[in-house]
Structure 1
Amino acid sequence: MLSGAGFILSSPGILKLISLLCMIIGGLIFVTAGDCRESQFWAVTYIISTTVSAVLSMVSYTIYALKLIKSPNALKAQYIAEITFAYAAFLLLLIVSTIMMTQCTNKFAIDYVPGPLTIIGAILLAIGGTQLFLYWRSKENIDDIQMNIPRHSQPRNNPHLSRKSILI
């Protein structure tokens, strides 16, 4: 299973870290650049959804990086929770960022950065969660296959028979 340094250096770990940075930078730019006077509801919703997604993503990254979960059943639950969170956060951030970009009309170029940056972070979060889930599923399938391999107790009588092609 991916955990510890293996997770940090893997593509899901790197994508999760880049996604986290995109969400944090997008949220910070939005907060420091000014507020959205046209729609306070979507401005507050954007800040809350970005902050909660970033915090939960950081907690998940820390759990994998520090190898806090050891049992196979808990790891299975963690991987399923990870893919669920990744897609839920992706949909939430995509919707909220798109509505925030359309509702808030600002005058400066920097005001248009947080929405697309958060959407990029959400996409990377979903891709990283999918990679992590697929890695776990492939590892689980390999373990199942290796457990069911029949062992031959008798040596082969003629070693040349195993070298023949099926086309001959």
Structure 2
Amino acid sequence: MTDECHGFLGALAPDHRTRLLTFSHETALPAGTRIFEEDGEAHRFWILRTGRVALDVHTPGRGTDVVETLGSGELLGWSWLFEPYRWHLGAQVLHATRAYEFDAHEVRAAIEEDPAFGLAVTRCVASVAIGRRLKASRMRLLDLYGPPGARAAPGGGPR
């Protein structure tokens, strides 16, 4: 199975997947690269082909905590789709990563121009990225900040 047929891209119909990929170029991100910072301008996004990227949050007095790790086939960045187009988390490359990189302005223009394409991409971002990512972030934050010895249960409550 190619990387175009699983993960985020696999959730799109073939014609929408092909159209989305026309807005991309391949990029390599070395380990240790800081891709974006919390509250920075979200003007690009990526679909990971290989490697690992950590999503993190900065907590005053505590430092930076990883809330989720992304890998092959996953969407890196969804803040580009929703105003005010600012990152909610930071991202750093853990292992050398190859990815499709997209210019958010171009993709948003295509979404506005073609409602069927726009609905497909928006639904995919919402279901594949936002819903799952928010749940994973919530679970990780419960693990980090919950009472000592308590871990989050799969349904979101304490165990």
Shared fold (TM-score, shorter chain, > 0.5): no
| Greater share of residues in helix | 1
Tell me the TM-score normalized by structure 1.
Answer: 0.37
TM-score (normalizing by structure 2)? 0.39
Tell me which of the two structures has the higher relative contact order, counting C-alpha pairs closer than 8 angstroms and 6 or more residues apart: 1
**Which structure would you say has the larger Rg?**
1
